[in-house]
Amino acid sequence: MERTFAIIKPDAVERKLAGRIIQRVEEAGFRIRGLRQVSLTKAEAEGFYAVHRERPFFGSLTEFMSSGPAIVMLLEADGAIKKWRDLMGATDPSKAAPGTLRAEFGSSIQCNATHGSDAPETATFESSYFFAGVDTI
């Protein structure tokens, strides 16, 4: 079993899509090992996305992620990282495969409903950021 980290972003929470997304998570065979709602400060969002600090989108990303509540999840399944990324779809919802979360619920590259770790090391860092003390991977 592998674990990964996921976020239901503020755009999806605001549009009351969290329940539908969580249902899809469970239907896809994930076990939810941790789940909580968070409201990130700008500084917390900057810490979480520090790897992107030099990117041109860093400011708008951290502003967006601190704009309202989000739901963070620790998910478990065989091949969880790839499985979650496949369920989410491409970052740009207009390029995401039909049936993926981002194709269905995303409206832009930034407001794309969900986030997911892209590698085991990222999953460990991201999970521990929100689920300190939990055996994350």
Q: Helix, strand, or coil here: 2?
A: strand
**What residues have CB less than 8 Å from 5, skipping those under 6 apart?**
72, 73, 74, 75, 116, 117, 122, 123, 126, 127, 130, 136
Three-state SS sequence of 33-101: EEEEEECCCHHHHHHHCHHHCCCCCHHHHHHHHCCCCEEEEEEEECCHHHHHHHHHCCCCHHHCCCCCH
- Rounded to whole angstroms, the Cα distance separating 22 from 40 reads 20
Q: Of residues 4, 105, 115, 131, which has the active-site annotation?
A: 115
Instruction: Mark whether 115 is an active-site residue.
Output: yes
Q: Which residues are identified as catalytic?
A: 115
